[in-house]
């Protein structure tokens, strides 16, 4: 499966996906945070047949329902120019087994990773303690090696505590 990302000058960014049945669907991410889910006309990838507009909160919830697999968003401008360490953002999805559980339980599943901050509702908590209780929608800012970041990312989605 391949998702194509296309800049849309003056609008934002568009993403398209070709399904196994030949349908083309997409998401238009507007600069202001609005998301449009679009279905393109068969055989004509430039004609939108249907669209649904979602608020940022609706889009987040829909994304978590459709794809509860961990996504690692690298913070490339903060990453060191060494392969040994990376900085990444790891979201706590709605279905996370660690929603409502202490940070210590989640990080125990990963080696070589430090949680340097937690972003919740637009506020940043630097150097959270291990007793910090995670919540759906939190974004963990982590530093560590790639295997450790991958382990923590998978734990936030798949591993039962």
CA–CA gap between residue 81 and residue 65 (Å, rounded): 35
DSSP E strand boundaries for the chain: 3-8, 12-18, 24-30, 35-41, 44-54, 73-74, 86-91, 113-120, 123-126, 139-144
Q: Average pLDDT, stretch 139-152?
A: 89
The model's pLDDT over 110-133, given as tens digits with 9 standing for 90+, comes to 888 999 999 999 899 998 999 999
Instruction: Please state, for a pLDDT cut of 90, what percent of the chain lies above it.
Output: 30
Whether the model clears a pTM of 0.85, i.e. scores above it, the answer is: no
pLDDT in tens, 11-61: 988 888 888 888 889 999 888 888 999 999 988 878 899 999 988 788 877
pLDDT at site 19: 86
What pLDDT, on the 0 to 100 scale, is given for residue 53? 93
More confident residue, 67 or 47: 47
């Amino acid at each position: 499966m391949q998702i194509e990302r296309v800049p849309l000058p003056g609008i934002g960014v568009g993403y398209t996906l070709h399904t196994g049945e030949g349908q083309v669907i997409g998401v238009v991410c507007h600069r202001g945070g609005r998301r449009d889910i679009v279905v393109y006309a068969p055989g004509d990838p430039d004609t939108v047949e249907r669209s649904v507009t979602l608020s940022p909160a609706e889009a987040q919830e829909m994304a978590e329902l459709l794809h509860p697999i961990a996504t690692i968003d690298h913070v490339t401008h903060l990453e060191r120019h060494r392969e040994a360490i990376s900085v990444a953002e790891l979201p706590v999805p709605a279905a996370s087994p660690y929603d409502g559980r202490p940070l210590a339980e989640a990080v125990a599943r990963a080696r070589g990773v430090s949680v340097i901050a937690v972003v919740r509702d637009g506020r940043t908590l630097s150097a959270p303690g291990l007793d910090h209780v995670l919540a759906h929608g939190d974004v963990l800012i982590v530093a560590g090696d790639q295997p450790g970041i991958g382990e923590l990312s998978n734990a936030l989605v798949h591993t039962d505590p």
